[in-house]
Amino acid sequence: MIAAERGAARNTLAAYAADLTDFARFAAARGQELATADPTLLQIYIAELDAAGLTARTAARRVSALRQFYRFLLREGLRADNPTSLLDAPRLGKPIPKYLTEQEVDSLLESAAQHGALAHAAVEILYATGLRVSELLALPRSALARNATVLLVRGKGGRERMVPLSEEAKKAAAAIPARGRWLFPGRDPRRPMTRQGFALMLKQLALAAGLDPARVSPHVLRHSFASHMLARGADLRSLQMLLGHADISTTEIYTHVLGERLQRLVEAHHPLSDKLDSASKPISE
């Protein structure tokens, strides 16, 4: 259902399958089955996850998998109740996304330019568009045909969106030697570069740029794109469209940048800001 109706990604399907399998084993060890497990067993399971030291994020994903599974059974008439209706999910704080400074991105771009056309284009496009790495690697060469100024991207759930492309990114992409149908081909040109291969390339570029490789990943570049856009005046709604978020609450993780920008705006434009500055200065003798 989540594959056919919701277009869930392969990684999501694998994660949910693993979560349901884990609970099925837990239930079997206590004489119950996955499809007919009772609410008490589910509550015991979640309590044991917490006692085992599972992170709140992982536990929350398992609760989500279980809720969706039992809602599906209820909707299909395979159960008369939903045993997860009173289940409490672990509370998650909103993490501040990790991102690079503009100067660090410049260093990474300089490093990429010295390591070949493919590396240069990969970093230019990723930072210029904020694409997910899976979206970037799925781009065919035809996506940049006829001097395209925008990319048509198919994101999560099969949703399509248009993302503007900078001149520098277009020039960098045009310099990639043609090897098959993919813009970023793998060792076998019939297939796109793998996510693992791309991440390794990015770590090597970071090392050459004098950056800590542990701080650099495709998703960190996506966070950097979003954070820098907001810092320079973009609004959340536009950023939501560019990033391909289905819900603006996902985009709101970047509001830490908005807070910093609003503070600077108040300091620069509030009518009392000059008086406050004067009051804070020591009186000269």
Q: Could you say which of 156, 179, 203, 261 is catalytic?
A: 156
Q: Could you say which of 62, 120, 222, 228 is catalytic?
A: 222
> What is the per-residue pLDDT for 41?
93
Three-class HEC string of the chain: CCCCCCCCCHHHHHHHHHHHHHHHHHHHCCCCCCCCCCHHHHHHHHHHHHHCCCCHHHHHHHHHHHHHHHHHHHHCCCCCCCCCCCCCCCCCCCCCCCCCCHHHHHHHHHHHHCCCHHHHHHHHHHHHHCCCHHHHHCCEHHHHHHHCCEEEEECHHHCEEEEECCHHHHHHHHCCCCCCCECCECCCCCCECCHHHHHHHHHHHHHHCCCCHHHCCHHHHHHHHHHHHHHCCCCHHHHHHHHCCCCHHHHHHHHHHHHHHHHHHHHHHCCCHHHHHHHHCCCCC
Question: Could you confirm whether 98 is annotated as catalytic?
Answer: no
Question: Could you confirm whether 6 is annotated as catalytic?
Answer: no
> What is the per-residue pLDDT for 284?
44
The reported pTM is 0.63
Question: Could you confirm whether 254 is annotated as catalytic?
Answer: yes
Q: pLDDT tens per residue, the chain (285 residues)?
A: 888 887 878 888 899 999 999 999 999 999 999 999 999 999 999 888 888 888 877 888 888 899 999 999 999 999 999 999 888 766 655 667 888 999 999 999 999 999 999 999 999 999 999 999 999 999 998 887 766 788 888 887 778 888 998 899 989 988 988 888 999 999 898 999 999 999 999 999 999 999 999 999 999 999 999 999 988 888 889 999 999 888 887 888 887 666 666 666 667 766 766 654 554 455 444
Question: Could you confirm whether 222 is annotated as catalytic?
Answer: yes
Question: Could you confirm whether 203 is annotated as catalytic?
Answer: no
Q: Could you say which of 79, 179, 219, 256 is catalytic?
A: 219
> What is the per-residue pLDDT for 277?
54
> What is the per-residue pLDDT for 204?
95
> What is the per-residue pLDDT for 223?
92
Q: Could you say which of 61, 62, 120, 132 is catalytic?
A: 132
